[in-house]
A = this chain, B = another copy of it.
Amino acid sequence: MGLMKDWLVRFVPVFRWLPAYQRSSLQGDLTAGIVVLFITVPQVIAYAFLAGLPPESGLYAALAALCLYGLFGSSRTLAVGPSAIVAMMTLEVASDFARPGTDAYTLVCLQLALVTGVVLLLLRLVNFGNVTSFLSHAVVTGFISAAAVLIISNQLPAILGLSSATDTRIFGVISHLFDGGQYNLVAIIVALLALGLLAFCRFRLEPLLRRMGTAEWLAAALSRSAPMFAVAIAVIATALADLGRHFALPLVGDIPTALPSFGLGPVSFTVVQDLLPSALLIAMVIFMESTSIGTAMAAKRREKIDPDQELVGLGAANVGASLFGGFPVAGSFARSIVNLSAGASTQLASWVTAGLVLITLVAFAPLFYYLPKAVLSAIIVISAMQLIDPAAIRKIFSFNTADAVVFAFTFVLVMVLGVEAGVLIGILISFILLIRSSSRPHIAVVGRVGDTEHFRNVRRHQVRTSPKLLAIRIDESLYFVNTRYIESFLFREIARKPELRHVLLICSATNFIDTSGLEMLEGMMDSLAEAGVTLHLAEVKGPVMDRLEQTAFYRAMKGKVFFTTDDAFLELAEI
């Protein structure tokens, strides 16, 4: 029994924070829970729309995700539920199996959430939370920027009031218009008004309110609740003027006022198998997106998140979303920010939101009947625009050429080939460039700086050298991809120095040597010996030295292994 309790406390975070819950946190959690509702409802309906699903799917997914992440997640303030990126990936994957809007499509999305959730839980078993990250910053930024552009262009048909049957790709929409296709002027006006209101609230309202002396949390909550204002205004205006009937404005329509049905539904093994590769990628994106939001939140509160526990929390949330009739979920940046700034300090706030989502479902869902789809698209467009981070892109382009190449390829390939192929090729390119760069390491011929014990590159600093001694610092480990390059560099330098007696390899940046590197050292020692030159080493690191000491190369070495470059210069060059 005690063992069981220890296990629960260790692996189910709610057993840690709930028994230690402090009354003083209650007010903040309640306020946050209520405030977050106002941004959650319109967002999750919009993201369900983006994913090609009926509005209630978004509410179901949010409900399940908030409840289950609250039990198993390690972040105190992360708000989990449908997210724009994951909704777009869901659309991309599920459309290959069924046509959006059909029951078969909804079922595929359910199964995708299930498989994604199970993958996340399996990744926990291999401690993936602390494992190598395969996604570089450049791949992630390229992928998210391209996904944002795709999301925005996907909304064009709805903003133009076209029927959902139209080709949603941007060229399809443009050619539809040029072919004299229909568009709905009222839909466009509604969308533009909604975009204007959302953009104003998002970018101008918060500073304005704060200048007027509004509390920080309230200013943040009000400005981020803009989707709810837009929804409320649009619903009232559409209902009063009956825009749906008079102007054929596409509306959300009926939402069943029922509790979600609970259960797996018919799971097809072949579909699950076919979904697996996509689910793996979606799981990685969910994990990465959520932990990066979670880490940022935790740092602000001097807390820590546990990446492995996050896999459990997010896995449970996705399995739950599947069982309740939703689709894949992740941490939401906008909702987490509002949650934190409105005073949440535990996941109790998420449960408050979940409870209110449930009430919305059973009591207020009919109100959304009059909501124009154009408003949902406006909400999606404003959210997606915030995914594009020009500062991050500028940083990539100014800091690192390889990363710029990876960013550009990933961006273009995600746009052209879709998220999966784009991201996978982006990852591949980042590894190829990585290997390429370490195959041509930086190598410096060094000399003594004045009379100090410091040694620097002869090309960058005024240093003292000797014709008898060639001292070379290789800024890389010695292994198969670079042995040939290093060897030719050395032989070129050696050929320039007729009086040479000693070659000193400074290994301060050599973190390991593989067998190819050892072969190179042996070959070089022999070749140098035939030319009457001795090979020495200096500043060999502990772990590398442990290995070298056991080799025939080390035993055959005529030269020395110096502790410092200083010792070597004193003995070999007398400078």
Contacts and interface: CB of A to CB of B under 8 A. Distances in A.
A439 B479 CA distance: 16
A400 B481 contact: no
A484 B130 contact: yes
Given A518-B399, A530-B299, A136 B479 contact: yes
Given A132-B481, A480-B430, A526-B299, A511 B475 contact: yes
B542 A460 contact: yes
Contacts of A398: 550-551
A245 interface: no
Given A132-B439, A442-B543, A543-B442, A480 B395 contact: no
A132 B302 contact: no
B442 A541 contact: yes
Contacts of A481: 132-134, 434
A511 B133 contact: no
A441 interface: yes
Contact of A541 (B131, B436, B475, B515): B475
A515 B395 contact: yes
Contacts of A454: 563-564
Contacts of A212: none
A563 to B, nearest CB: 8
Interface string A410-446: 0000000000000000000011001111110110100
Chain A interface category by residue count:
35 or more
Residue in A400, A403, A438, A515 whose Cβ sees the most chain B Cβ within 10 Å: A515
A371 to B, nearest CB: 39
A541 to B, nearest CB: 6
As for how many copies of this chain the complex holds, the number is: 2
B515 A457 contact: no
B476 A511 contact: yes
A304 B476 CA distance: 25
Interface string A481-503: 11111001001000000000000
A480 to B, nearest CB: 3
Contacts of A515: 136-138, 395-396, 399-400, 403
B514 A403 contact: yes
Contacts of A564: 454
Interface string A260-287: 0000000000000000000000000000
B484 A133 contact: yes
A518 B395 contact: yes
A542 B304 CA distance: 35
Residue in A402, A460, A480 whose Cβ sees the most chain B Cβ within 10 Å: A480
A552 interface: yes
Contacts of A563: 454
Given A515-B137, A516-B136, A518-B399, A130 B530 contact: no
B402 A514 contact: yes
Contact of A509 (B302, B508, B542): B508
Interface in A297-341: 299-300, 302, 304, 307
Contact of A137 (B400, B431, B480, B485): B480
A509 B508 CA distance: 6
5 contacts: A133-B484, A137-B515, A138-B515, A434-B479, A444-B542
Nearest to A449: B563
A512 B477 CA distance: 13
A397 to B, nearest CB: 10
